[in-house]
Structure 1
Amino acid sequence: DLSLGNPVIEPPEEFHQELSRWVNNPRAGMHRYMPNAGYPEVRAAVAEHLSSMTGIPFTQNEIVMTCGAAGGINVALKTIVEAGDEVIILAPYFVEYIYYIDNAQALPRIIPTDNQFAPDLKILEENVTSKTRAVLVNSPNNPTGAVYSHNTLKGIGELLSRKEVEYGREIFLISDEVYRRLVYDGVECPYMFQYHPRTIVTTSYSKDLALPGERIGYIAVNPQYEGRDELINGLVFCNRVLGFVNAPALMQHVVRELQDASVDIDEY
């Protein structure tokens, strides 16, 4: 049970070095407001990293820096759902999800997983309705540790595409990926973007850099989604009006050069 996933190890040395570099060499304006989406150079660094990992050409225009993944999920839900919409979550699920959904005045639709804690595609299909606006997935999963396979994720993407045609509305796939780097024994954790054009990924540096208290993460929107510009505008607006305003300035500066850095995951 990963529970709230509070790392008990310290950040890697690269983090302390980068933090010291910024603290000991202050620059004019480094603590001021920036665009609500985050510093362009930081978003560009994230986009470059995602491009190299996924083979999909991201730009800074598909990235919004956030106050952690929790902030990112709240921003994403507020952007895409209307009151009364349903958001599907798979049980067992991270305990806060139902409250994030409630924050957006949507309704959680909770469905079980199979005996390996993987999504049951038949049950999922039966529960996607004309009110479904999003499916929220978490792989590697909290609390079970399950990693969803390529075939499972491909099946979810195909299912959502069929249901979009059936109901004549967009259905988003929101992927909470804070545990992406915490995989073991050669297990592959596929990137969601390849499975559904309306994919929104939320993540943070809380686990791989052991920085949960710093509240720094980002949202990445699938570049292959034709409505991405409008969606990004909505995400930036909601990031502002929900009161987050922008991700922490100092942490944005620090993580810019740490896209490939990580704690020793064996210590977990």
Structure 2
Amino acid sequence: MSLPLNPAMQATDVSPVPEAGRWIAGRTFPADRPLINVSQAAPVAPPPEPLRRAMAEALMQEPASHLYGPDLGLPALRAALSEQVSAQYGGTIRPEQTAITSGCNQAFAAAIATLAGPGDEVLLPIPWYFNHKMWLDMSSIRTVPLPTGPDLLPDPKVAATLIGPRTRAIALVTPNNPAGVEYPPERVAAFAELARSRGLALVVDETYRDFHSRDGAPHPLFEDPDWDETLIRLYSFSKSYRLTGHRVGALMSSPARLAEVEKFIDTVTICPSQIGQRAALLGIQTLGDWLAGERREILARRASIEAGFPKLAEQGWCLKGCGAYFAYVEHPFALSSDALAKALVEEASVLCLPGTMFEPKGATSGRRHLRLAYANIDADGIETLFDRLAGVSFER
């Protein structure tokens, strides 16, 4: 007799990144055509040397780095991040409105856990970030798909028509994962006004904020002194300082909500990584110029995508979105993108994710799109990627 399984967990789709990893498990690729992996949006290079050195010193010399810390994060890091974001956005964020989490995925999970329960609803623009959808499914919270236009931007007027009595929040990701598009400041502000007028939370995931092409604040929401009555802002140190394995993220909201978040964190991880938090703090304090250089490099890769795409456009491909770590492309083939993505491993030694992993099952749009995560390929790698994609031939 087998043990029972949670039906909500069973009904949740498998995570796309490990699923795609199984497509190449045990495979070897030709020496003249090595694998190009554009499936995951995470830096593979280690943190910069000053961070690694400081982390090693903390490991060896700070006994507290091995102990439980405060559930909501190190006070010094909460204060430093609050000050930094206040300066970046021209608003006021206090340390008591800031929590440190074990990565940004935990920040989203904690935020949703304070907002909604089984049977409630959350609006997610499509294409959506798959881990957001997975958490809602596991929590028995209904995801309400929010369609986007040809520019892959959601419309607050459309969102207003989808709000029902069980709706608890609208969740946005900007710069967007998977589409790469940056939501204009006025669009984000319009969503905040909609959420406020309907008594909902607006959850804004800004994991890729440090690679935004816009100079200055990406949105004006923190200028409102009562921002924490509506906005829940999420952030990640993983991409900014290459701390993916150390799991350090952040959540900004009202002190009252953070009291509830504390319960969630204490039950799940007790506290964020002590070593990772120390690295994040040093990054804020000393690596501003280094991070600016990382941003310039990512923006240069974005420019390479846009400059090189005509090679694919000649073959019928379309660049639908590009920014931060991502390009979202429409392919010209009869194959559904889930079959195409697997075929590209064989035909082009390219591993990418299909649009079907970012949209509701059966969605026509998902069958037409691929996500290319270019964080780990430089301009030459992008050119090689486009050469390979331009060279494949399938039925149209």
Q: TM-score range by the shorter chain?
A: 0.7 to 0.9
SS in 2 for 1:173: strand
Find out whether 1:202 has 2:234 as its counterpart. yes
SS in 2 for 1:259: helix
TM-score, normalised with respect to structure 2: 0.60
1:66-109 CA distance string (max 9 Å, x none)? 11000111111111112211000000111111111123331111
Tell me the equivalent position of 2:117.
Answer: 82
Do the aligned partners of residues 188 and 52 (structure 1) sit closer, same or farther apart at CA in structure 2, a change above 3 Å counting? closer
TM-score, normalised with respect to structure 1: 0.86
Do the aligned partners of residues 4 and 75 (structure 1) sit closer, same or farther apart at CA in structure 2, a change above 3 Å counting? farther
SS in 1 for 2:241: coil
Q: Flag structure 1 segments of 5+ consecutive residues without an equivalent.
A: 165-170, 222-227
User: How does 1:147-158 map onto structure 2 within 5 Å?
Assistant: 147-158=182-193
User: How far apart are the structure 1 equivalents of 2:67 and 2:164?
Assistant: 45
Of residues 244, 255, 268, the one that matches 1:212 is 244
1:15-60 CA distance string (max 9 Å, x none)? 2243244235x12323111221112122111112122212222222
- Which residue identity lines up with residue 235 of structure 2 in the other structure? T
Query: Does the 8 A contact of 2:123 with 2:146 survive in 1?
Result: yes
User: How does 1:252-263 map onto structure 2 within 5 Å?
Assistant: 252-259=277-284, 261=287, 262=291
Query: Does the 8 A contact of 2:82 with 2:93 survive in 1?
Result: yes
**What displacement does 1:229 show?**
2.6
Could you tell me the percent identity over the aligned residues? 23
Find out whether 1:235 has 2:253 as its counterpart. no
Query: Does the 8 A contact of 1:3 with 1:143 survive in 2?
Result: no
- Which residue identity lines up with residue 211 of structure 1 in the other structure? L
User: How does 1:116-265 map onto structure 2 within 5 Å?
Assistant: 116-164=151-199, 171-184=200-213, 189-190=218-219, 192-194=221-223, 197-221=229-253, 228-241=254-267, 243-259=268-284, 261=287, 262=291, 264-265=294-295
Find out whether 1:56 has 2:91 as its counterpart. yes
SS in 2 for 1:255: helix
Query: Does the 8 A contact of 1:74 with 1:104 survive in 2?
Result: no
User: How far apart are the structure 1 equivalents of 2:39 and 2:170?
Assistant: 21
SS in 2 for 1:200: strand
SS in 1 for 2:202: strand
Query: Does the 8 A contact of 2:123 with 2:171 survive in 1?
Result: yes
**What displacement does 1:11 show?**
2.4
Q: Tell which deviates more after alignment, 66-75 or 49-58.
A: 49-58
Tell me the equivalent position of 1:224.
Answer: none
Compute the RMSD of aligned alpha carbons.
2.1
Tell me the equivalent position of 2:59.
Answer: 23
Do the aligned partners of residues 259 and 143 (structure 1) sit closer, same or farther apart at CA in structure 2, a change above 3 Å counting? same
Between Structure 1 and Structure 2, the one with more helix by share is 2
SS in 2 for 1:258: helix
**What displacement does 1:121 show?**
2.1
Q: Tell which deviates more after alignment, 179-188 or 138-147.
A: 179-188
Tell me the equivalent position of 2:130.
Answer: 95
Do the aligned partners of residues 41 and 185 (structure 1) sit closer, same or farther apart at CA in structure 2, a change above 3 Å counting? closer
Number of matched pairs: 253
User: How far apart are the structure 1 equivalents of 2:84 and 2:39?
Assistant: 28
Tell me the equivalent position of 1:104.
Answer: 139
SS in 2 for 1:79: helix
Do the aligned partners of residues 236 and 114 (structure 1) sit closer, same or farther apart at CA in structure 2, a change above 3 Å counting? same
Runs of 4+ off more than 6 Å: none
User: How far apart are the structure 1 equivalents of 2:108 and 2:186?
Assistant: 25
Find out whether 1:67 has 2:102 as its counterpart. yes
**What displacement does 1:251 show?**
0.9
**What displacement does 1:193 show?**
3.4
User: How far apart are the structure 2 equivalents of 1:206 and 1:135?
Assistant: 24
**What displacement does 1:125 show?**
1.0
- Which residue identity lines up with residue 13 of structure 1 in the other structure? E
